[in-house]
């Protein structure tokens, strides 16, 4: 959960900047998110990259779908 990630990492001085970025992990350009709900221009490059990488990693580890589900 981005909220708890930010709260936990913020307590460690060396991770304060990263905590802020990590809290944007589930954000989307259209504003659909459960934590912040920010849109497009409000997301900086680091936040966008983190969101893309997190989604890519999730897709790589998600259970395989049956072959006919792709059609």
Residue 59's pLDDT is what? 83
The C-alpha atoms of residue 27 and residue 49 are separated, in whole angstroms, by 11
The C-alpha atoms of residue 51 and residue 20 are separated, in whole angstroms, by 13
Global pTM value = 0.59
Residue 5's pLDDT is what? 76
pLDDT digits (tens, 9 = 90+) for 14-64: 888 888 777 777 777 777 766 677 777 777 888 888 888 888 888 888 676
Domains of the chain, residue spans? 2-60
């Amino acid at each position: 959960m981005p909220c708890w990630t930010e709260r936990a990492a913020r307590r460690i001085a060396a991770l304060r900047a990263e905590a802020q970025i990590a809290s944007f992990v589930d954000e989307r350009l259209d504003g659909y998110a459960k934590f912040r709900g920010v849109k497009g221009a409000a997301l900086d490059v680091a936040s966008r990259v983190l969101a893309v990488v997190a989604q890519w990693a999730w897709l790589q580890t998600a259970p395989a779908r049956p072959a006919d589900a792709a059609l």
